[in-house]
Amino acid sequence: MKKLLCLILALSIISCSGDDDGNTNNNSSNLTINPPSWIQGIYLQEGANGQILPIGHEFKTDDFCSVNSNLASCYQAQLDLFANSPNFETDVSEEIDSNRYFLEITIGVTIYSFEFEQVSSTSIKQILPTGELTFVLQ
């Protein structure tokens, strides 16, 4: 039941895409998520007036999760759930450098794309087609 709930939550998240140009380390055609050490932790969105909103991301050593009001939806569990399902594509592609992390997760027909840049040791920004969002390390 937990896995089904996680899948439903993940599929309801709107994904954003970004360009993937530049010379970086590519890690594609696999099912593991490996965020770089500089981004690991829980980041919550900074609002317009500097307040911290209960929306964000959690970067673990081996997983990436979307956080909403203390409820985390993690992608590695979904990848593991569907890894051996026939006719169901699963894939992870990562581009990592010293201050940029690009992650693309394919689960079935849905592709989730995330791009983050380090602003400081305690904040990151998510690059979206419509602009940027700032997140603060908790």
Indicate the number of domains in the chain. 1
20 pLDDT exceeds 60? Answer: no
Task: Please state, rounded to an integer, the average pLDDT across all residues of the chain.
Answer: 84
Element (H, E) at 5: helix 2-12
% of the chain with per-residue pLDDT over 90: 72
Task: Report residue 18's pLDDT band, with 50, 70 and 90 as the boundaries.
Answer: very low
What is the rounded distance in angstroms from the CA atom of residue 27 to the CA atom of residue 89?
Answer: 17
The one-letter code for the residue type at 109 is V
Look up the CATH number of the domain holding residue 14. Answer: 2.40.128
pLDDT at 45: 98
pLDDT at 9: 39
In this structure, how many other beta carbons lie within 10 angstroms of the beta carbon of residue 107?
A: 20
Residues contacting residue 89 through CB under 8 Å, at least 6 positions apart: 106, 107, 108, 109
What pTM was estimated for this model as a whole? 0.77
DSSP class per residue in 58-119: EEETTEEEEEETTEEEEHHHHHHHHTT-TT--EEEEEEE-SSEEEEEEEETTEEEEEEEEEE
Residues contacting residue 86 through CB under 8 Å, at least 6 positions apart: none
Q: Are 43 and 59 in contact (CB under 8 A)?
A: yes
What domain range is 63 assigned to? 2-18+26-137
Mean pLDDT (whole number) for 15-42: 66
Q: Are 71 and 51 in contact (CB under 8 A)?
A: no
pLDDT at 70: 84
Q: What is the pLDDT of residues 94-110, one digit of tens each?
A: 999 999 999 999 999 99
Element (H, E) at 124: strand 123-128
pLDDT at 23: 37
